[in-house]
């Protein structure tokens, strides 16, 4: 039987935060979709919420950092068997005085160099921006 009313994609905002040649990644928690994957930090945009405001909120909730959200990097769409996601990636910078990232609601956080960006570690929806990000990073 065909699905007459497929669900609309989940709208997600994600951050590309580069400092000193490294990009900030978070690891998905056990028991969540794609558990264990490393990703660009972010999360769902609530209905009616400004995607940039959603990203500011998610980064405080998940890793305790305060950021300013800049231009879009890329928009990607990915269909998983159970859902589809529309991902809005933004360049972000930490606000002066922001705390360092810590794993409040993620399994782990790390500052990654170019050598850490193996596509198989990431959700498929994140892979499209890896080459753009890699170009900005230290080689290791």
101 binds ligand CDP (CB under 6 A): no
Binding ligand CDP (rule: CB under 6 A), the pick from 16, 17, 23, 39 is: 39
Of residues 110, 111, 130, the one with CA closest to residue 120: 130
Q: How many residues interact with ligand CDP (rule CB under 6 A)?
A: 16
Stretch that binds ligand CDP, among 32-40, 63-71, 91-99, 128-136 (CB under 6 A): 32-40
Of residues 64, 65, 45, the one with CA closest to residue 55: 45
60 binds ligand CDP (CB under 6 A): no
Which residues, in sequence order, are CB contacts of 42 under 8 Å at separation 6+?
Answer: 12, 13, 14, 15, 54, 55, 58, 59, 87
Q: Which residue is nearest to ligand CDP (CB)?
A: 43
Stretch that binds ligand CDP, among 28-36, 95-103, 109-117, 131-139 (CB under 6 A): 28-36
Binding ligand CDP (rule: CB under 6 A), the pick from 55, 126, 133, 137 is: 126
Q: Is 116 exposed, middle or buried (0-12, 13-18, 19+ CB in 10 A)?
A: middle
- Least CB distance from residue 87 to ligand CDP, whole Å? 6
CA separation for the pair 1, 71 (Å, rounded): 42
Structure-token pair, residue 49? 């919420």
């Amino acid at each position: 039987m065909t699905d007459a009313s497929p669900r609309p994609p989940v709208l997600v905002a994600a951050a590309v935060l580069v400092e000193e040649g490294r990009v900030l990644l978070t690891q998905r928690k056990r028991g969540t979709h794609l558990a264990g994957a490393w990703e660009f930090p972010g999360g769902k945009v609530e209905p009616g919420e400004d995607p940039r405001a959603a990203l500011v909120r998610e980064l405080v909730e998940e890793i305790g950092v305060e950021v300013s959200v800049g231009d879009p990097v890329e928009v990607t769409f990915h269909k998983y068997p159970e859902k589809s996601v529309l991902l809005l990636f933004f360049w972000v910078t930490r606000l002066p005085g922001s705390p360092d990232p810590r794993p409040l609601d993620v399994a782990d956080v790390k500052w990654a160099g170019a050598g850490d960006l193996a596509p198989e570690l990431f959700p498929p929806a994140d892979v499209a921006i890896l080459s753009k990000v890699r170009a900005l990073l230290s080689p290791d």
